[in-house]
Amino acid sequence: MSYENLSTWLGCPVENYEPGIEIKDGVIYRFRVDWEPEHTMAELFAAFTADPAAAKTTGLVIGAWFGDDSSADSAEIVQLLVGARHALPKLTAIFFGDVTSEENEISWIQQTDVSPLFSAYPGLKHFSVRGGNDLSLGGKMRLESLESLVIESGGLPRTVLAEVFSMDLPKLEKLELWLGTDEYGWDGSLTDLKPLLDGGLFPSLKHLGLCDSEIVDQIAEALVTAPVMNRIQALDLSLGTLSDEGAAHLVQCESLKLLKSLDLHHHYCTAEGMRLLKAAFPGVNLDEQQSGDEEDRFVAVGE
């Protein structure tokens, strides 16, 4: 989850950037500041982009940008990235918000409208963002190159869902949404997911993640007849409150047997529910079994 900063991303090592270091090929650099930083984020970006080697950069990770003011939003960082676009002609991957729980809980991260990044980097293939507060993706944009979109939150507002579903993403293969809980910002319902489940969106979609959800049993029931199941190869319903009720629905889904990957780790299934799932899909990930009555079940990532 978000207890440690990324050590690798997209198969590359991730290292913190400091002015003066040698920029190495094959390394993704993280930009972050501590509570009492030696350099501001603006200074880090200026030093990085002044180095001719930065022009080869294909991926960047944005870490904690707020120093000792955890309430500061990410608007300035969006503008720094937009301003650096000419110095980063090969940038195709951004992880926006590699913030650990020690630095700021996921549901306290203050995001912003990140859509200017899509205009600044039209060749973007991978975009991940952590934190749902004040997050906007703009919506109704056609992104020709985007292959993966990951939104991690402790509670995803339905407005963000609507923006995602209004985007034209012809090459999107992976969509992962951490829906979270209504205690920390989730205000949607199964109805809000219907455009996605109906299968009319994202023609290249192969990997679907609807993670960290308190309505995962309802999602599992809907997936039994959901057209989207006929074309995805990997399903991720991990980190949520899946119970035997949801397991009973999933095993009724004929398309389940055609999946290459099924991730259900962090769940509330009993031994019997796990037996049914393993019989239907022997390779299912059922790690991190939890216990508790319905009122005592929690998603893995909330606050």
Q: What is the pLDDT of residues 120-137, one digit of tens each?
A: 999 999 999 999 999 999
**pLDDT value for 63:** 96
Backbone angles phi, psi at 49, to 5 degrees: -75, -15
Tell me the pairing of strands 261-263 and 28-31. Answer: unpaired
**pLDDT value for 1:** 56
> What number is the average pLDDT over the span 147-162?
97
- Cα–Cα distance between 197 and 112 in angstroms, integer? 27
SS3 225: coil
Q: What is the pLDDT of residues 281-291, one digit of tens each?
A: 999 999 999 99
What is the residue whose two structure tokens read 């190495």?
Answer: 24
**pLDDT value for 130:** 97
Range name among 5-14, 63-72, 186-195, 221-230 with the lowest pLDDT average: 63-72
Beta strands in the chain (DSSP E): 8-9, 12-16, 28-31, 59-63, 93-98, 126-130, 148-152, 174-180, 207-213, 234-236, 261-263
Burial 24-46 (b: 16+ CB within 10 A, else e): eeebbbbbbbeeeeebebeebbb
The answer to whether the beta carbons of residues 269 and 291 sit under 8 Å apart is no
**pLDDT value for 138:** 92
Q: How many residues does the chain have?
A: 303
* Architecture field, domain 8-296: Alpha-Beta Horseshoe (3.80)
Backbone angles phi, psi at 23, to 5 degrees: -80, 115
For the chain, give every domain's residue range.
8-296
Q: What is the pLDDT of residues 241-262, one digit of tens each?
A: 999 999 999 999 999 989 999 9
Residue 151 CB partners (closer than 8 Å, separation 6+): 128, 129, 132, 135, 160, 164, 176, 177, 178
- Taking alpha carbons only, the member of 125, 45, 123 closest to residue 79 is 45
**pLDDT value for 139:** 81
**pLDDT value for 275:** 97
CB atoms within 10 A of CB 151: 25
Q: What is the pLDDT of residues 10-57, one digit of tens each?
A: 999 999 999 999 999 999 999 999 888 889 999 999 999 999 999 999
- Taking alpha carbons only, the member of 284, 281, 242, 279 closest to residue 258 is 281
